[in-house]
Chains A and B, each alone.
Chain A
């Protein structure tokens, strides 16, 4: 079993400032209640493009992009504080989508042409690229998709259908997981949204996020749009990075749901006393607090490992996402129970957190998936 590296788990002054700026912006301009508006059919994007541009101006979309492609060349630990802040208000702006899910496979893939074509645009916030990896019935066997590419002329042709693709309706391009007929292995390719043969249909999901079905029918893929034809390592690395980013959002969300619940326990009076004076509720709140602290350590450690100790990263990424899945769901369920009847109403914001917890837990690897990975990496 692997050695534990030393990881710095405390944010430095700049990282703290970055997270604080993000927190203020999100609190002011992106309160969770706006999801009631954004979830409606007349909002095809599901987020605010102007707010996203503001985030880009603050440099968040450029954080992880190397300077050679007009980015800032910083690390995942820097981004984690920002994502945590976005998570607090369940902000659906596609920072995680574009800066991680889209940018990372392009950055680490085999096509320099794609890096030059897309990374500067992602960094500036003008371009949005997403990852299309879910399929009907695929469960979490992500490395065995039905979508496939076959050689055709000088390039390939892609066929298949992806579901619940994040921000599908606004994406300029999709990184698509598929099977390469020639190598019988997982491949990853890039397809622009306006290519011939691409059609997109909006899906309405429980967490109010705009996701979509994306159909690829005989779509041409040029040689230099192939990210990898032996893509299992690239996909795993992408999933791990994005899972840690998502875990940071989930940490922020769980933390906010918990804070709101504690505030409610102090203010809600029954039997002439605040219900927070009841030990039955106090002990459950204390348990949630413990779980949140363990989650915080796990997320920070995974992000630190991404920047400082690549060798330990896969294990710690699995740890962060598995615990984020469990903790966020536990906190969200308890939050509704402790709010009582009002917590069940659509008028109360707390319900959004449960819905998001469920959707996030089934994205980028569920709990079993990450436990299996952990066991493999630890030799059992």
Chain B
């Protein structure tokens, strides 16, 4: 038996002995479906915490992180085996969130020893929940235009300004921010990557309602907030380097989370069509709708095959750069097209906001349709993605 296969056996035994029965077969839908942790988390089923604890003990909440920071020191291949086995039992990841997807990997790359020891184990245990302080009212696509000010005062910075689109800020304990520590000739300079405890005096959070009703988004305000200088990640004034590296993690997560269930969009649309449209035996009667669903299903398959091809190329040691640049823009526009077509299938049944006369699933779908309009704006808008493709892949010249 190969070493990897014996590891698989070991994992199976561990899961069989330790995974709570109540959590098996819950079939989580992706890397963000599970327990987010943090001090403000509402009470949960004790089995969820038990599951977290047994995994944390083995380093399995953050399997690729080194042991001294609460991980298990596993290779990517071993971690993939662990997740495969969890999926096979329909188990959620024991703890999820931006700590794992964004700030954790960034601290491992750029943090100092003190920061790694201080923050990583707490992320791994789900003790501290993190949120992202990047966008500002005047720094959206032009992210380097951040204006939130951090002025040096001895061993501290005094922070003033506002962050926006801070997902889940109301439920988070710490926030990682891009702040301006100096004005330089280029706006990418003079930015610093700073970790802020949200319990500090002067931090306040307001929820943002989107057109879809509720949302995870918040605005976060900072008024004379004192932050120790030791909370700077990387060098003072060099936060753009750190911040950009983190965005890579964010984009690869968006791409893979949308591409995670092959053919699921088409299945969902056909299901919807079964409720709302006429069928002639096994065949959808409306030929126009049939063709529209087929076109969407085909694009979904072509996208999935592209994800496969990018992955195979990366495995073969090739550079996935050029092809992978298209993933975010294609994935999000495909998702919007899927919701639009779903709404077309539902017709008037898709117009409900709340209350009687509308089905739960249609109501939810309508909210998701509205929410999907944000997909081509957040995480680097489609326009920014196209700029990147035009310049970096196609080599088209800059405007004068």
Interface residues of A (CB under 8 A from B): 1, 4, 7-10, 262, 265-266, 272-274, 276-279, 281-283, 285-287, 289-290, 293-298, 300-301, 316, 318-319, 322-323, 368, 371-372, 374-376, 378-380
Contacts and interface: CB of A to CB of B under 8 A. Distances in A.
B392 to A, nearest CB: 10
A294 B302 contact: yes
Majority SS at the chain B contact face? helix
B303 interface: yes
Nearest to B301: A319
Nearest to B399: A277
B386 A372 contact: no
A279 B387 contact: yes
Interface stretch (B25-33, B79-87, B304-312): B304-312
Contact of B397 (A9, A274, A298): A274
B293 interface: yes
Interface string B364-389: 00000000000000000001011101
Given A290-B330, A323-B302, A375-B284, A277 B396 contact: yes
B393 A289 contact: yes
Contacts of A380: 270, 273, 282-284, 290, 293
A4 B262 CA distance: 8
B118 interface: no
Q: Which of B290, B297, B298, B329 has the most CB of A within 10 A?
A: B298
Contacts of B397: 266, 273-274, 276-277
Interface in B308-347: 308-309, 312-313, 316, 318, 323, 326, 329-330
A319 B302 contact: yes
B298 A266 contact: no
Contacts of B299: 294
B262 A8 contact: no
B348 interface: no
A323 B397 CA distance: 30
A322 B293 CA distance: 13
Contacts, number: 137
Interface string B277-302: 00000111000001101110111011
B298 A278 contact: no
Contacts of B273: 380
A371 to B, nearest CB: 4
Q: Which of A276, A290, A323 has its CB near the most chain B CB atoms (within 10 A)?
A: A290
Most buried by B among A7, A274, A294, A368: A294
A217 B340 CA distance: 54
> What 6 pairs between A and B have smallest CB-CB spacing?
A282-B390, A286-B389, A297-B305, A286-B386, A371-B294, A294-B302
A323 B394 contact: no
> Which among A1, A316, A318, A368 has the greatest number of chain B C-beta atoms within 10 A?
A1
Given A9-B309, A266-B396, 5 more contacts: A293-B306, A294-B299, A297-B305, A319-B301, A378-B266
Contact of B396 (A282, A296, A368, A374): A282
Contacts of A9: 305, 308-309, 312
B267 interface: yes
A11 B398 CA distance: 35
29 contacts: A7-B308, A9-B305, A262-B395, A265-B396, A266-B395, A276-B396, A278-B399, A282-B394, A283-B383, A285-B396, A286-B390, A289-B326, A290-B326, A293-B306, A293-B323, A293-B326, A294-B303, A294-B305, A294-B306, A294-B330, A296-B309, A300-B309, A322-B298, A371-B294, A371-B295, A372-B291, A375-B294, A375-B297, A378-B297
B400 interface: yes
A297 B389 CA distance: 18
A103 to B, nearest CB: 27
A289 B394 contact: yes
